[in-house]
């Protein structure tokens, strides 16, 4: 086991005091002199042609400083990839969902802005609309985008081996259908944007985001501005969960209003707007056919999934691929076929989510238990027989460089007392397991890498400058802890400048589970570079070999003769005098197959490395109401080597809520494209009262060769496999598989009632 001074320790996070005292500034807290208030006009129709927009009365209203519509854009469309650019961020020819942004105003106060919005008149011609993905894909359905046949936005097809031969050779073949309703992200921070177009032609933005450089580049393209004149600043961010990964119309609209008015503009979406007009989670329908050997080894699998993508592409190919990638990162799939369809409907736009794929991953994990049940094999054992191991390759040819999946499954089952509970608990109590892998960074071109600078001030206190983003995961503290280990400076004496596109270089951001692996490697290399400079300079002053010097508590000393030492600030000052400034530089690019592409070529190394985890949930069901309570959760994760152990534990605790409790609570309700529960009164997110009292989290140490200090992604396993753990636990409790998510009381009670008749 490695011996580190700082890495692996549960050190309090550097951002805790600001958040605990309320000093942290979120976007809605930003105030700029003469700042205007913006409001947005949304479509009342799910599908309609925009025949005319009359803004004349709004423009004449005293106090209104700017009005923007489709006429104020350059006609550019947004999409993550060139082939998915289908979204003009102010509706142009027609609207495609209720809530789509059609016009906006900026005024001296909120009351004036609201009055102005009500004065804008839009002439719509309603069109036939469609709200079900399975219906949308059929011949004759209304086309939402004319150039996409059958409303198929993205079709990801993967085929490995000989699937039909595999089924013919299987001992048992199982076919199942799983469905899930869409979810919201549930960030407590309403979406907000502050844009400030300065007299020098610089556009400053404060936006909740997961990747500031991605935001800046997109807005540069959309606004026809040089990239160095679009600056995305760093506010505190009130949650993300995948829902801050995209470019939103509000980013673009607020920028347009600021440019047109030549004043700072702030728009804060209401809760209803935040839940309707940013991003949501895909509804899914999955049909899966799985063939196994007599001892439960997967021989063949055929998966067809239809995902409701809403009105536009968003992260289309990525969203259509990730659930399968997580599955193939977990188990051997010698013969497998995937047909994943992301389909347009007249619902709001769906994007990425850290719990992506209740029907997909939840269904596959539940079907594995179904098969184990038919073969009289313990669910733990069937997972161990199929689990990938170090040195093996996934179906699409990614190599596994470190893997603690089997250890995680074994340790979680032992800790949870699986053997004495599965099938043996009292009536209406059950226990279930889920397991999965998780990619750590995937191909994102030039924005897939990270670089870092570290500078030393004359008093010996360092500043690290990195593009890494922290949406609450603890990424900033992880970077500081890495720097502290390398530089020998206490964490509370290191300053971090992060996520500001004016001063930081490219970084992937808090996206694709890459912060610790990619950003952390860049920080480590930059600090190692600075350390070499410090040790070299100190060796000249102390007249000794660089090999015998070490740094601890801001002192450079000889390991042979500890009395031979120098304070760090003395070395730094000596460097300044001799024009040898201590400035470290580091960069890191994920080791992936750059020719791998989500649709055209989904083969090759899709990530530098992979994390793994096993998650066990224990439930208790009220037989009279059908209410499901999760009473205990146990999670073990192979995160390589934890940078901050307490931080890893906290990530799992959050995952128990987002990936576990959400399975029994969260769903959107609709009426002809109108969301009926766009608030936290009717949309049920987990509270502290819903989270189990007993949560146990631990790690499996594998010391990944690619990660900084052996570290890799942490926390996501609990979200991604919580669905299957809960679904399997419900079966153990009532003896019925509920294959439609969420597993709400009405569905449970129906099954209990039918079974007891």
Residue 419 has pLDDT above 90, yes or no: yes
d(CA 249, CA 255): 10
For residues 664-686, give the mean pLDDT: 95
**Mean pLDDT score of the chain, rounded to an integer?**
96
Radius of gyration of the chain, Cα coordinates, nearest whole angstrom: 27
Shared domain check, 287 and 232: no
Q: Which residues contact 444 (CB under 8 A, 6 or more apart)?
A: 508, 511, 512
Q: Please give the residue range of the domain that contains residue 351.
A: 283-443+595-756
Chain centre to alpha carbon of residue 306 = 21
CA dihedral 228→233→237→240, nearest 10 degrees, is 0
Do you know the residue count of the chain? 757
CA distance 482 to 525: 10
* Region 371-399 average pLDDT: 98
Burial 87-99 (b: 16+ CB within 10 A, else e): bbbbbbebbbbbb
- Residues in a beta bridge with 481: none
Kindly report the number of other CB atoms within 10 A of residue 662's CB atom: 28
Is residue 154 a contact partner of residue 84, using CB atoms and an 8 Å limit? Answer: yes
- Residues 503 and 367 occupy one common structural domain: no
Is 271 contained in some domain? yes
Structural domains in the chain (count): 3
364 and 462 housed in the same domain: no
Asked if 379 and 421 touch (Cβ cutoff 8 Å), the reply is: no
| Dist CA 412 CA 688 (whole Å) | 24
Same domain, 562 and 617: no
Is 235's pLDDT higher than 80?
yes
Residue pair 606/375 in contact by the 8 Å Cβ criterion: no
Strand segments, DSSP code E, in 605-748 are 609-621, 628-638, 670-671, 674-675, 694-699, 740-741
Q: Is residue 564 within 8 Å of 557, Cβ to Cβ?
A: yes
Residue 565 belongs to a domain with what CATH number?
3.30.365.10
Q: Indicate if 681 and 723 belong to the same structural domain.
A: yes
What CATH number does residue 212 fall under? 3.90.1170.50
Structure token digits, residue 611: 């994390």
Residue 163 lies in a domain: no
CA nearest 137: which of 14, 12, 309?
309
pLDDT of residue 447: 82
Structural domain includes residue 18: no
Same domain, yes or no, for 316 and 437?
yes
Give per-residue pLDDT as tens, 150-204.
999 999 999 999 999 999 999 999 999 999 999 999 999 999 999 999 999 999 9
Question: Is 713 within a domain?
Answer: yes
Largest CA distance in the chain: 89
3-class state of residue 586 by DSSP = strand
- On whether residue 159 sits in a domain, the answer given is no
> Phi/psi at 244 (nearest 5 deg)?
-115, 15
Q: What is the DSSP letter of 230?
A: E
Percent of the chain with pLDDT over 70: 100
pLDDT tens column, 124-139: 999 999 999 999 999 9
Please tell me whether residues 545 and 661 are part of one structural domain. Answer: no
Same domain (yes/no): 683, 719: yes
Integer Cα distance of 37 and 267 in angstroms: 6
| Nearest alpha carbon to residue 439 among 388, 365, 480 | 388
In a domain, 149, yes or no: no
Contact (Cβ atoms closer than 8 angstroms) between residue 738 and residue 514: no
Does the structure show a pLDDT above 90 at 245? no
Distances (CA, A) of 348 to 76, 103, 354: 20, 17, 19
Say whether both 400 and 452 belong to one domain.
no
pLDDT of residue 604: 96
Q: How much is the average pLDDT of 221-237?
A: 96
Of 538, 559, 588, the last residue of a domain is 588
> What distances in angstroms separate CA 324 from CA 268, 330, 522, one per listed residue?
36, 10, 29
Reported in sequence order, the residue ranges of 478-558 that DSSP labels E, i.e. its strands, are 495-498, 549-552, 555-558
pLDDT recorded at residue 472: 87
Please compute the mean of the pLDDT values over residues 118-126 and round it to a whole number.
98
- Sequence-distant (≥ 6) Cβ neighbours of residue 580 within 8 angstroms: 533, 537
Compare 513 and 740 and report the one with higher pLDDT: 740
Consecutive H or E run containing 411: helix 405-415
Interhelix angle 645-655/716-734, rounded to 10 degrees, is 40
CA distance 724 to 436: 10
Q: Are strands 336-344 and 298-310 parallel, antiparallel or unpaired?
A: parallel
Residues 579 and 604 placed together within one structural domain of the fold? no
Q: What are phi and psi of 539, to 5 degrees?
A: -65, -35
Position 1 scores a pLDDT of 67
> Alpha helix locations (H) across 562-674?
568-577, 645-655
Answer for the pair 351, 316: CB distance below 8 angstroms, yes or no.
Answer: no
Residue 312 has what DSSP assignment? S
Q: Is residue 157 part of a domain?
A: no
In 3D, which of 527, 295, 433, 471 has the Cα closest to residue 728?
433
Q: Average pLDDT for residues 76-102, to the nearest whole number?
A: 95
Hey, CA dihedral for 737, 740, 742, 744, is it positive or negative?
negative
For residue 259, give the 3-state DSSP assignment: helix
Dump pLDDT digits (tens) for 24-48: 999 999 999 999 999 999 999 999 9
Q: Which helix (H) or strand (E) holds 194?
A: strand 192-197
Q: Do 619 and 429 form a contact (C-beta atoms < 8 A)?
A: yes
Residue 154 in tokens: 């993205």
Q: Are residues 704 and 657 in the same domain?
A: yes
Rounded to whole angstroms, how far apart are CA atoms 117 and 665?
A: 36
The answer to whether 632 touches 430, Cβ cutoff 8 Å, is: no
Contacts of 143 (CB under 8 A, 6+ apart): 151
Q: Which of 588, 615, 648 is the last residue of a domain?
A: 588
Would you state the pLDDT for residue 445?
81
133 belongs to a structural domain: no
CB neighbours of residue 79 within 10 Å = 18
Res. 2: pLDDT tops 80: no
Of 277, 296, 330, the residue at which a domain comes to its end is 277
- The sign of the dihedral angle between the CA atoms of 533, 535, 540, 545 is negative
Q: 653: Cβ–Cβ under 8 A, 6 or more apart, which residues?
A: 691, 695, 697
Query: What is the number of alpha carbons within 13 Å of residue 505 lying toward its C-beta?
Result: 17
Q: In this predicted model, what pLDDT tens digit does every residue of 359-383 receive, in sequence order?
A: 999 999 999 999 999 999 999 999 9
Enter the tokens of residue 551: 């740094």
Comparing 8-12, 177-181, 200-204, 327-331, the range with the smallest average pLDDT is 8-12
- pLDDT value at residue 705: 96
- Taking residues 722-730, report their average pLDDT: 97
Clarify whether residues 92 and 227 are in a common domain.
yes
């Amino acid at each position: 086991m490695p011996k580190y001074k700082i890495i692996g320790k549960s050190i309090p996070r550097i951002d805790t005091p600001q958040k605990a005292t309320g000093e942290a500034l979120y976007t809605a807290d930003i105030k700029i002199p003469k700042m205007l208030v913006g409001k947005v006009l949304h479509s009342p129709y799910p599908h309609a042609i925009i025949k005319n927009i009359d803004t004349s009365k709004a423009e004449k209203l005293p106090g209104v400083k700017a009005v923007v519509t489709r006429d104020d854009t350059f006609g550019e469309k947004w999409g993550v990839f060139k082939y998915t650019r289908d979204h003009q961020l102010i509706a142009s020819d027609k609207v495609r969902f209720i809530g789509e942004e059609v016009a906006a105003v900026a005024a001296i106060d909120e009351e004036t802005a609201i009055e102005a919005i009500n004065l804008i008149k839009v002439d719509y011609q309603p069109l036939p609309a469609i709200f079900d993905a399975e219906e949308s894909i059929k011949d004759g359905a209304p086309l939402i985008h004319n150039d996409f046949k059958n409303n198929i936005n993205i079709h990801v097809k993967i085929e490995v081996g000989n699937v039909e031969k595999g089924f013919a050779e299987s001992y048992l073949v199982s076919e199942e259908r799983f469905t899930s309703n869409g979810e919201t992200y549930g960030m407590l921070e309403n979406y907000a944007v502050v844009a400030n177009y300065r007299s020098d032609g610089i556009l400053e933005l404060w936006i909740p985001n997961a990747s500031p450089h991605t935001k800046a580049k997109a807005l540069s393209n959309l606004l026809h501005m040089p990239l160095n004149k679009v600056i995305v600043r760093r506010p505190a961010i009130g949650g993300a969960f995948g829902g801050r990964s995209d470019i939103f119309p509000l980013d673009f609209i607020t920028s347009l209003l600021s440019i047109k008015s030549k004043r700072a503009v702030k728009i804060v979406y209401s809760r209803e707007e935040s839940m309707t007009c940013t991003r949501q989670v895909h509804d899914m329908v999955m049909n899966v056919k799985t063939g196994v050997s007599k001892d439960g080894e997967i021989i063949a699998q055929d998966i067809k999934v239809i995902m409701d993508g809403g009105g536009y592409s968003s992260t289309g190919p990525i969203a259509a691929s990730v659930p399968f990638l997580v599955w193939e990162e977990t188990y051997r799939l010698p013969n497998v076929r995937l047909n994943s369809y992301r389909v347009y409907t007249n619902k709001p736009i769906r994007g990425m989510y850290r719990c992506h794929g209740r029907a997909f991953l939840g269904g596959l994990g539940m079907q594995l238990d179904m098969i184990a049940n038919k073969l009289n094999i313990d669910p733990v054992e069937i997972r161990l027989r199929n689990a990938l191991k170090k040195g093996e390759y996934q179906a699409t040819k990614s190599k596994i460089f470190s893997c603690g999946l089997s250890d995680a499954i074994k340790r979680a089952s032992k800790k949870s007392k699986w053997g004495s509970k599965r099938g043996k608990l009292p009536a209406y109590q059950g226990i279930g397991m889920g397991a999965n892998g998780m990619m750590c960074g995937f191909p994102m071109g030039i924005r897939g890498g990270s670089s870092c600078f570290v500078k030393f001030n004359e008093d010996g206190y360092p500043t690290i400058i990195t593009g890494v983003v922290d949406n609450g995961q603890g990424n900033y503290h992880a970077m500081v802890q890495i720097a502290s280990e390398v530089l020998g400076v206490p964490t509370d004496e290191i300053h971090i400048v992060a996520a500001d596109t004016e001063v930081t270089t490219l970084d992937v951001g808090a996206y694709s589970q890459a912060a610790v692996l990619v950003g952390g490697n860049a920080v480590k290399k930059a600090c190692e570079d600075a350390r070499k400079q410090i040790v070299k300079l100190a060796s000249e002053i102390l007249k000794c070999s660089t090999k015998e010097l070490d740094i601890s508590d801001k002192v450079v000393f000889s390991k042979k003769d500890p009395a031979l030492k120098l304070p760090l600030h003395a070395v730094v000052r000596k460097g300044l005098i001799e024009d040898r400034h201590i400035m470290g530089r580091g960069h890191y690019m994920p080791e992936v197959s750059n020719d791998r592409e989500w649709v055209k070529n989904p083969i090759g190394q899709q990530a530098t490395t992979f994390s793994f985890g096993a998650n066990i949930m224990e439930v208790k069901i009220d037989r009279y109401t059908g209410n499901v309570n999760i009473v205990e959760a146990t999670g073990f994760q192979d995160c390589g080597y934890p940078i901050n152990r307490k931080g890893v534990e906290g990530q799992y605790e959050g995952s128990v809520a987002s990936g576990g409790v959400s399975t029994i609570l969260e769903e959107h309700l609709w009426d002809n494209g109108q969301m009926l529960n766009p608030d936290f009164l009717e949309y049920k997110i987990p509270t502290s009262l819903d989270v189990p009292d007993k949560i146990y989290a631990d790690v499996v140490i594998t010391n990944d060769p690619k990660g900084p200090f052996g570290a890799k992604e942490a926390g996501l396993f609990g979200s991604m496999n919580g669905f299957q753990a809960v679904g399997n636990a419900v079966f153990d409790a009532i003896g019925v598989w509920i294959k439609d998510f969420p597993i709400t009381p009405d569905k449970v009670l129906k099954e209990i009632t039918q079974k007891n008749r």
